[in-house]
Amino acid sequence: MAYEFVLPDVGEGLTEVVIEEWLVAVGAEIGLDAPLVQVETDKAVVDIPSPVAGVLLYQGAAEGDTLSVGEVLAVVGAAGEAWEPTSDQEEESVEAAPVAPIVGTLPDAPAAAPAAAPAAQSTRALPAVRKLAAEMGVDLETISGTGPAGRITRDDVLSAGAGPVERLPMSSIRRAIAERLSRSWREIPHVTIYGSARAEKMLGERRRLLEEAEGPMPIEALLVALVIPLLQSHPEFNAAVSGTDMLARRHYDIGIATDTPEGLMLPVLKGADNLTVHQLADAIIRLAKSARSRKLTPDQLQGATFTVSNIGAVGGGYGTPIIPYGTSAIVSFGRAAAQPVIEDDVVTSGLMLPISLSYDHRLIDGALGRTFMAALVDAIESADYS
């Protein structure tokens, strides 16, 4: 008997996926737990294995289409077995008919009354479309609507605007990034403060560690190693708000902001407090490689307690980092650059590292924020990894 395999929840809070690539064609055999299809979730690209062995009889969606959790993903049966989707399943794959207006109808303009066409044309645009047209300086009376009953759509207005406009759908990952950042910005009262530290000592230590190491020594490893003791002595920065309580985490899973072709990813370095600086370097390199090849598992993208962002890697200086939802703080480091500094009343040159610290004002007041920043500056300027 054919087995109907519904789309499982492959990640926390997942509601839908985009079918990236079918790894087995209809009519082909597949083994138990063999890769069946590759899907893009809001966090990563994941291979879904087949729960049974047999022949693939049906694919629930085409490549590039979206499928919701609980819908039929695939049907696997015996060779020669016939299987047909139910009427409900067929309806899911049929393109939806044009949607009528919420209130009333928009009749076609009378053919015998050309003089009334300009007035009727403006009524064939919903308020949001008329607002967009006004913002873009587009005259609705010059547009022929392509929507139902000649209604002017948003795309009609965009196409008639100044210059060509192309509407491009955001990927699942990009949509997830947008939603998470929007939620953080809406719900967390952000405060961002700035500081700078002399980087000569830390970078000198990096050169020494590179001589000891068998591979690269990313600057993020040095920074995480310095941040961990500060989080241990300032628990508000490794916390989260839960109702009227503060969740003071006693574990240190550090999110490493990573630039990828699909957007900013936040792989999580679990148990960072238990790793040496060399182990931190190896783990960060592995996570970054997996992020850029879209091979991170859902577990590797969840559970950050604090975040470190090295915007200096892309030429950045100071910034206003947004706190990842479910945490209380994030620190970003810019590119170290030579600047004039005063030492013993003498102007000299110093290699200064820009620091931007954003924190949740519900848990952290300005004085505590400045205390943490001062401790961080001191840790960088006196860095010692021996």
| Cβ count near 24 (within 10 Å) | 19
Q: Please say which residue of 40, 63, 84 terminates a domain.
A: 84
Q: What type of residue is 143?
A: I
CB contact at 8 A, 23 and 77:
no
State the Cα torsion 76-80-84-89 to the nearest 10°.
Answer: 20
| Residue 204 covered by a domain | yes
Q: Are 240 and 162 part of one and the same domain? A: no
Q: Token digits for 282?
A: 């190896």
Residue 144 maps to which CATH number? Answer: 4.10.320.10
End-to-end CA distance of the chain: 64
**CA 257 to CA 23: how far, in whole Å?**
31
Q: Are 27 and 104 part of one and the same domain? A: no
Residue 57 lies in domain: 3-84
Q: What is the pTM of this model?
A: 0.65
Q: Are 210 and 304 part of one and the same domain? A: yes
Q: Are 142 and 225 part of one and the same domain? A: no
Along the 386 residues of the chain, how does pLDDT read in single tens digits?
789 999 887 665 667 888 888 999 999 999 988 899 988 876 677 889 999 999 999 999 998 888 888 899 999 998 888 887 765 555 444 333 333 333 333 334 444 434 434 444 444 676 677 888 888 888 888 888 887 667 788 888 888 877 666 778 888 888 888 888 999 999 999 999 999 999 999 999 999 999 887 779 999 999 999 999 999 999 999 999 999 999 999 999 999 999 988 888 999 999 999 999 999 999 999 999 999 988 888 889 999 999 999 998 888 899 999 999 999 999 999 999 999 988 888 898 999 999 999 999 999 999 999 999 999 999 999 999 98
Choosing from 190, 234, 251, 361, which is the catalytic residue? 361
| Residue 91 covered by a domain | no
Q: Are 62 and 112 part of one and the same domain? A: no
- Does the annotation mark 251 as catalytic? no
The closest of 156, 128, 162 to 142, measured between CA atoms, is 156
Q: Please say which residue of 142, 169, 196 terminates a domain.
A: 169
**CA 40 to CA 296: how far, in whole Å?**
11
User: Which secondary structure element, helix H or strand E, spans residue 343, and what is its range?
Assistant: strand 337-343
Q: Are 177 and 270 part of one and the same domain? A: yes
